[in-house]
């Protein structure tokens, strides 16, 4: 069977769609977003031979979750990005229902992609292959085909390989669902990326002291910071609690110690990565100077995503800003990378009662706030942050029910660092101890009004746009 070539349709979709998306008042000025169609997970984030590469799940043909290709950007500095040739299209038998998420590695100087070939059958079943592709002299990628078939004991939901090098071997974590419909993370080892030896389950629902923790674990990422081994994962089906795990699916991590020889991972409880309305499928890599960087999808599957108004302009979703990770006592901290300071225009200051603060222009804003609270931050009457003595509450109007919905960050808040870019707000709490990332769709030009009878100190900047070339 020959598959329908996608390229002519993709080209036409980009030619027709790009200017429409970019004229949308909600299109980001400096976050990465699709030129047209739907973007979801970041893939293949790597620093390779002097440049950063970031790939992404992309449906160039529409705003639905279909036709998943790998789009590709590169950058010398994480600030100025350029478009690269589309890296993968679902045009082979083994990836015909989508080139799903995965990673990139430097294999002896060859930029090599490791991704999931997803295959759906007419009877509703599916299978998955873990596949390789290698960069060619033209900057595109040549597929090498599948290297790992569906492992026994699991359903067709096995995907999202993340590969790293450790003590002369390649290791891979894979997201999986077992036959009992429990989410798991598998560990595998290889010497050449071609032959893989399964080492077992290292974490998941019902193991490692977690109890019932969901029916599928997607997008695992395992890395070491100082002496701690962190596993980031997206567990689907974790029970909602009063103040956490409130999105349709969360992104979470555990921290502990991985025994590579016995394939045993001793770890603590699941901690939510981001307490906002939109954050999912983050991926990390090392920077040129050894920092652990993270970028996430500022979206969540299976929630209210399709009610976002940008679909009328032919595009949907964006990435988060790139963040630097650090850890204190096994707890992950996230901060915007320092490179982003390159977007700042003139610095402004303000100090006094929140009620007397000037109304800020919120289209493209960086704001540092120090206070004891209580303060209210009203983003264009569409997104409202309340800073109280027991933590933060973020309220947003549902575009489906018209009701206010809430997200929470419980704890003592001393300072906030906020990044606004047209239709997104990222709130970093206490130097990165917590984060809340959310999309919102205000009438532009959006403003931010502060109120409250409390003193605050503010430093803020308007941020320059940074177009992808």
The residues that are catalytic are 41
Report, in Å, the least distance between residue 256 CB and ligand FRU.
23
Of 92, 215, 100, 211, the C-alpha closest to 162 is 100
Report, in Å, the least distance between residue 284 CB and ligand FRU.
16
Indicate whether 310 belongs to the interface with ligand FRU (CB under 6 A). no
Q: Which of 67, 97, 116, 438 is in the footprint of ligand FRU by CB under 6 A? A: 116
Give the number of other Cβ atoms within 10 Å of residue 278's Cβ: 28
Listed in sequence order, the residues at least 6 apart from 312 whose beta carbon sits closer than 8 Å to its beta carbon are none
Indicate whether 236 belongs to the interface with ligand FRU (CB under 6 A). no
Query: What are the tokens at 127?
Result: 């299978």
Angle of CA points 300, 274, 447, to nearest 5°: 85
Listed in sequence order, the residues at least 6 apart from 402 whose beta carbon sits closer than 8 Å to its beta carbon are none
Question: Which lies closer to ligand FRU via its Cβ, residue 47 or residue 68?
Answer: 68
Instruction: Specify the 3-state DSSP secondary structure of 342.
Output: helix
Q: Which of 301, 342, 358, 374 is in the footprint of ligand FRU by CB under 6 A? A: 301
Indicate whether 229 belongs to the interface with ligand FRU (CB under 6 A). no
Q: Using CA atoms, how far apart are residues 60 and 68, in angstroms rounded to an integer?
A: 8
Buried b (16+ CB within 10 A) or exposed e, 24-53: bbbbbbbbbbbbbbbbbbbbbbbbbeeebb
Query: What are the tokens at 414?
Result: 């001393």
Indicate whether 317 belongs to the interface with ligand FRU (CB under 6 A). no
Indicate whether 218 belongs to the interface with ligand FRU (CB under 6 A). yes
Indicate whether 57 belongs to the interface with ligand FRU (CB under 6 A). yes
**Interface size with ligand FRU, residues (CB under 6 A):** 14
Question: Which lies closer to ligand FRU via its Cβ, residue 303 or residue 358?
Answer: 303
CB 48 within 8 A of CB 106: yes
Question: Which lies closer to ligand FRU via its Cβ, residue 113 or residue 367?
Answer: 113
Q: What are phi and psi of 94, to 5 degrees?
A: -80, -5
Indicate whether 219 belongs to the interface with ligand FRU (CB under 6 A). yes
CB 405 within 8 A of CB 398: yes
Question: Which lies closer to ligand FRU via its Cβ, residue 174 or residue 367?
Answer: 174
Query: What are the tokens at 388?
Result: 């109280």
Question: Which lies closer to ligand FRU via its Cβ, residue 133 or residue 376?
Answer: 133
Q: Which of 56, 100, 164, 409 is in the footprint of ligand FRU by CB under 6 A? A: 100
- Stated as kind and residue range, the H or E segment containing 8 is helix 7-22
Question: Which lies closer to ligand FRU via its Cβ, residue 112 or residue 378?
Answer: 112
Indicate whether 281 belongs to the interface with ligand FRU (CB under 6 A). yes
Which position's Cβ is nearest ligand FRU?
100
Instruction: Specify the 3-state DSSP secondary structure of 11.
Output: helix
Indicate whether 68 belongs to the interface with ligand FRU (CB under 6 A). yes
Indicate whether 40 belongs to the interface with ligand FRU (CB under 6 A). yes
- Considering only residues 158 to 217 of the shown chain, the ones binding ligand FRU according to CB under 6 A are 159-160
Q: Which of 24, 41, 201, 278 is in the footprint of ligand FRU by CB under 6 A? A: 41
Query: What are the tokens at 404?
Result: 């206010």
Indicate whether 101 belongs to the interface with ligand FRU (CB under 6 A). yes
Tokens 């976002």 correspond to 308
Indicate whether 221 belongs to the interface with ligand FRU (CB under 6 A). no
Question: Which lies closer to ligand FRU via its Cβ, residue 41 or residue 278?
Answer: 41
Instruction: Specify the 3-state DSSP secondary structure of 20.
Output: helix
Where on the chain is the footprint of ligand FRU (CB under 6 A)?
A: 40-41, 57, 68, 100-101, 116, 159-160, 218-219, 280-281, 301
């Amino acid at each position: 069977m020959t598959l329908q070539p996608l390229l002519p349709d993709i080209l036409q979709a980009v030619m027709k769609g790009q200017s429409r998306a970019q004229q949308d008042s909600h299109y980001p000025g400096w976050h990465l977003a699709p030129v047209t169609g739907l973007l979801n997970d970041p893939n293949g984030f790597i620093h390779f031979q002097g440049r950063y590469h970031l790939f992404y799940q992309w449906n160039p043909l529409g705003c639905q979750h279909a036709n998943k290709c790998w789009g590709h950007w590169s950058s010398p500095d994480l600030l100025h990005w350029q478009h690269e040739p589309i890296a993968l299209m679902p045009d082979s038998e083994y990836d015909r229902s989508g080139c799903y998420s995965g990673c990139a590695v430097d294999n002896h100087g060859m930029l090599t992609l490791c991704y999931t070939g997803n295959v759906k059958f007419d009877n509703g079943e599916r299978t998955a292959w873990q596949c390789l592709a290698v960069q060619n002299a033209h900057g595109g990628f040549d597929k090498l085909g599948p290297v790992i078939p569906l492992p026994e004991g699991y359903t067709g939901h096995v995907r999202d390989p993340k590969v790293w090098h450790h003590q002369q071997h390649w290791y891979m974590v894979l997201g999986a669902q077992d036959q009992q419909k429990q989410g798991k993370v598998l560990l595998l080892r290889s010497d050449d990326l071609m032959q893989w030896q399964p080492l077992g389950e290292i974490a998941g629902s019902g193991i490692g002291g977690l109890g019932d923790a969901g029916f599928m674990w997607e997008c695992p990422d395992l890395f070491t910071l100082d002496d701690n081994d962190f596993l980031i994962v997206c567990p689907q089906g974790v029970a909602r609690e009063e103040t956490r795990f409130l999105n349709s699916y969360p992104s979470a991590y555990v921290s502990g110690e991985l025994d590579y020889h016995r394939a045993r991972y001793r770890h603590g409880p699941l901690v939510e990565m981001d307490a906002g309305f939109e954050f999912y499928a983050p991926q990390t890599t090392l920077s040129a100077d050894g920092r652990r960087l993270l970028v996430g999808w500022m979206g969540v599957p299976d929630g209210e995503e399709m009610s976002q108004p940008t679909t009328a302009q032919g595009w949907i979703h964006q990435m988060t800003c790139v963040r630097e990770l650090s850890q204190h006592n096994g707890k992950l901290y996230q901060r915007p990378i320092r490179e982003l300071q390159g977007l700042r225009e003139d610095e402004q200051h303000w100090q006094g009662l929140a009620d007397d603060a000037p109304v800020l222009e919120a289209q493209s804003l960086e704001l540092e706030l120090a206070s004891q609270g209580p303060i209210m931050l009203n983003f264009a009457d569409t997104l409202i942050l309340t800073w109280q003595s027991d933590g933060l509450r973020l309220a947003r109007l549902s575009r489906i029910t018209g009701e206010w919905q809430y997200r929470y960050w419980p704890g003592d808040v001393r300072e906030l660092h906020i990044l606004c870019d047209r239709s997104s707000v990222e709130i970093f709490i206490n130097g990165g101890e917590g984060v809340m990332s959310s999309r919102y769709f205000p009438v532009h030009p959006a403003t931010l009004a502060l109120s409250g009878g409390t003193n605050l100190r503010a430093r803020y900047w308007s941020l320059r746009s940074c177009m992808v070339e």
